[in-house]
Amino acid sequence: MCKLILSLLPVFISSRLARFSQAMDDSFPKTLKDFGYAFNEQGQLRIIDPNSGIAGELPFEFEVDKHNHDYNQRRYEALGEIIDQHVYKLLETRGKLEKLVLTKGDCSVSSNEIESFIFVSDDVFTNSDKLLVLVHGSGVVKAGQWARRLIINDNLDTGTQLPFIEMAKKKGYAVIVTNTNDNYRVIDKKKKLIQGSENPVNHLLSVWNQVIDKSPAKHIAFVAHSYGGVCILELASQVEKKFQDRVFALAMTDSVHSMVHHNTITAGLQQFLCQIGRNWVSSGLPLDTPIGRPPNDIDRVSAGHTQHEMTSYCSMSSIFQFLEEKLQQKQQQQI
């Protein structure tokens, strides 16, 4: 009997721990303030000082329970979901963008529960000159983010797309912030894929058909980070003629694409992408130093930083200079 009890003990403990973990998940705060955190004036996430009630000096603490890594990870993820909402709000307040729902005609439920959304500038359907489209990478990041880790552990400028949005608007661009990882909703405890946004590529195609294609902008540019580069190549292959007619520049930051593995890309499109594209990759070399690239692929240069997540922020000035150069080339060709 003792042996039987001992053999069943691990299963019993595992079951109890699973239920306990679920209870812990449900107990996480629902707001940044209730979590005990706030962003200071420098955009750094800090523990709220109990005396002043505002962001203090202490940074985010991952290991709140030294004996339970799973709990620490779940807490981090719960905080990350709150960060998503915080960044959405900043896109509207600091970025001066508007939330735009992507619709699908055959949706059976007429609510935002099964519709994805993006953020756009108020001139996206009136700016007849320039349009900039921002595409993040894969993983947990949502609209307006380059890297959640940077938002939590560094600051809002390095981790979000806000500096790109502000610079683009100063330079006269209409702006679209995509949300390619927004692919499902949980309804009645079941995961339901969002029609038209079932995956990142479908999301981008919906953005193209519903927004970009309806924009009057003559000159369109993309900035894509990491897996976002893969998605752009797939989008280009699906709307090839329109893409070549209207897109003048493709700036990638540490894109993980491989041109030779994109069987849907024609020789003509491949040549076009190589002409308009540049990929700022993680490297310890000075910013813009040429880096060796695979044959028949997009040029690669150093982003001036060795961390994958930092490549977008560190190469921003060079990216906008690149966009200006490509725009001038396009305009000269049209004369």
Q: Which residues are catalytic, by number?
A: 226
Distance CA 278, CA 299 (A): 5
Q: Are strands 45-48 and 37-39 parallel, antiparallel or unpaired?
A: antiparallel
Question: Which residues face 118 on adjacent strands?
Answer: 100
Torsion over CA: 114, 177, 307, 322 (sign)? positive
Torsion angle of the four alpha carbons 216, 218, 224, 230, in this order, in degrees rounded to the nearest 10:
90
Q: Which two tokens stand for residue 223?
A: 């900035």
Distance CA 55, CA 36 (A): 9
Distance CA 189, CA 62 (A): 28
- Running DSSP on this structure, what letter comes out for residue 211? I
